[in-house]
Chains A and B, each alone.
Chain A
Amino acid sequence: MTTHSNIDTAVETVTRGEDLTTAGQWQLFWLRFKKHRLAVISLVVIISLYVVAALAEFIAPFDPNSTNARFTYASPQGFHLFHDGSFAPNVSRLSMTLNKESLRREFTADPDNPVFLGFFVPAKPYMLLGVIPMETKLFGIKDPKIGDSLYLFGADRLGRDILSRVLYGAQISLSIGLVGVVVSLVLGVAIGGISGFFGGWVDVLIQRFIELLRSIPTIPLWMGLATAIPVSWPPLQTYFCITLIVSLLGWTSLAREVRGKFLSLRNEDYVIAARLDGMSEIGIIFHHLVPSFISHIIATLTLAIPTMILSETALSFLGIGLQPPIISWGTLLQEAQNIRAVAQAPWLLFTPAAAIVIAVLSLNFLGDGLRDAADPYGATT
Chain B
Amino acid sequence: MTTLMADWASQGGAVEQGTVAALRERYGLDQPIYIQYYKWIAGIVTAGDFGLSFEYGRPVAELIWGRLGYSFLLAVLTLCFAWAVAIPIGILSAVRQYSIGDYVTTFLAFVFLALPNFVLALAVMYVVSTYFGKSVGGLFSPEYADAPWSFGRLWDLITHIWLPVVVIGTGSLAALLRIMRANLLDELRKPYVTTARAKGLSELKLLIRYPVRIALNPLISAIGWILPAAVSAEILVSVVMSLPTTGPLLLRALLSQDMYLAGSLILLVSVLTIIGTLISDILLALADPRIRLQ
A residues near B (Cβ < 8 Å) are: 214-221, 223-224, 227, 306, 310, 313-314, 317-320, 333, 336-337, 339, 342-343, 346, 349-350, 353, 356-357, 360-361, 364-365
B93: chain A residues within 8 A (beta carbon): none
Which residue in B123, B235, B257 is a CB contact (below 8 Å) of A219? B235
Q: Is there contact, CB below 8 Å, between B228 and A319?
A: no
In the complex, what distance in Å separates the CA atom of A62 from the CA atom of B240? Answer: 31
B residues near A (Cβ < 8 Å) are: 110-111, 113-116, 118-119, 122-123, 125-126, 129-130, 136-137, 224-225, 228-229, 231-233, 235-236, 239-240, 250-251, 254-255, 257, 262-263, 265-266, 269-270, 273-274, 277
A318: chain B residues within 8 A (beta carbon): 236, 239, 251
Q: Is there contact, CB below 8 Å, between A215 and B274?
A: yes
Q: Is there contact, CB below 8 Å, between A217 and B228?
A: yes
Q: Is there contact, CB below 8 Å, between A357 and B126?
A: no
Besides A219-B231, A219-B232, A320-B254, 4 more A-B contacts (Cβ < 8 Å) are: A216-B273, A227-B254, A314-B236, A318-B239
Which residue in A217, A223, A361 is a CB contact (below 8 Å) of B254? A223
B126: chain A residues within 8 A (beta carbon): 339, 342-343, 346, 349
Q: Could you jot down 10 A-B contacts, CB within 8 Å?
A: A223-B251, A224-B254, A227-B254, A227-B257, A314-B236, A318-B239, A339-B122, A357-B115, A360-B114, A364-B113
Quote the shortest CB–CB distance from A50 to chain B (angstroms): 17
B250: chain A residues within 8 A (beta carbon): 220, 223
Q: Which of B116, B239, B254 lies at the interface centre, i.e. has the most chain A CB atoms within 10 A of its CB?
A: B116
Q: Which of A220, A336, A361 lies at the interface centre, i.e. has the most chain B CB atoms within 10 A of its CB?
A: A220
- Given contacts A217-B231, A220-B265, A320-B255, whether A342 and B122 have CB atoms under 8 Å apart is yes
Which residue in B114, B229, B266, B270 is a CB contact (below 8 Å) of A364? B114
Q: Is there contact, CB below 8 Å, between A339 and B137?
A: yes
Quote the shortest CB–CB distance from B19 to chain A (angstroms): 26
Q: Which of B235, B254, B266 lies at the interface centre, i.e. has the most chain A CB atoms within 10 A of its CB?
A: B254
- Given contacts A214-B225, A217-B231, A349-B123, whether A343 and B129 have CB atoms under 8 Å apart is yes
B113: chain A residues within 8 A (beta carbon): 360, 364
- Given contacts A215-B273, A219-B232, A220-B265, whether A361 and B111 have CB atoms under 8 Å apart is yes
Please, which residue of chain A has its CB at the minimum distance from the CB of B117? A314
Q: Is there contact, CB below 8 Å, between A218 and B236?
A: no
Q: Is there contact, CB below 8 Å, between B255 and A227?
A: yes
Please, which residue of chain A has its CB at the minimum distance from the CB of B270? A216
Quote the shortest CB–CB distance from B114 to chain A (angstroms): 4
Quote the shortest CB–CB distance from A315 to chain B (angstroms): 10
In the complex, what distance in Å separates the CA atom of A163 from the CA atom of B136? Answer: 29
Q: Is there contact, CB below 8 Å, between A336 and B225?
A: no
In the complex, what distance in Å separates the CA atom of A269 from the CA atom of B118? Answer: 51
In the complex, what distance in Å separates the CA atom of A230 from the CA atom of B255? Answer: 11
B270: chain A residues within 8 A (beta carbon): 215-217, 220-221
Which residue in A313, A333, A339 is a CB contact (below 8 Å) of B125? A339
Quote the shortest CB–CB distance from A349 to chain B (angstroms): 5
B111: chain A residues within 8 A (beta carbon): 357, 361
In the complex, what distance in Å separates the CA atom of A361 from the CA atom of B116? Answer: 11
In the complex, what distance in Å separates the CA atom of A345 from the CA atom of B63? Answer: 36
A360: chain B residues within 8 A (beta carbon): 113-114
Please, which residue of chain B has its CB at the minimum distance from the CB of A360? B114
A220: chain B residues within 8 A (beta carbon): 231-232, 235, 250, 265-266, 269-270
In the complex, what distance in Å separates the CA atom of A217 from the CA atom of B267? Answer: 10
B110: chain A residues within 8 A (beta carbon): 361, 364-365
Quote the shortest CB–CB distance from A373 to chain B (angstroms): 17
A224: chain B residues within 8 A (beta carbon): 254, 262-263, 266
B229: chain A residues within 8 A (beta carbon): 217-218
Q: Is there contact, CB below 8 Å, between B255 and A349?
A: no
A319: chain B residues within 8 A (beta carbon): 255
A349: chain B residues within 8 A (beta carbon): 119, 122-123, 126
In the complex, what distance in Å separates the CA atom of A218 from the CA atom of B126? Answer: 27
Q: Is there contact, CB below 8 Å, between B255 and A314?
A: no
B236: chain A residues within 8 A (beta carbon): 219, 314, 317-318
B125: chain A residues within 8 A (beta carbon): 339, 342
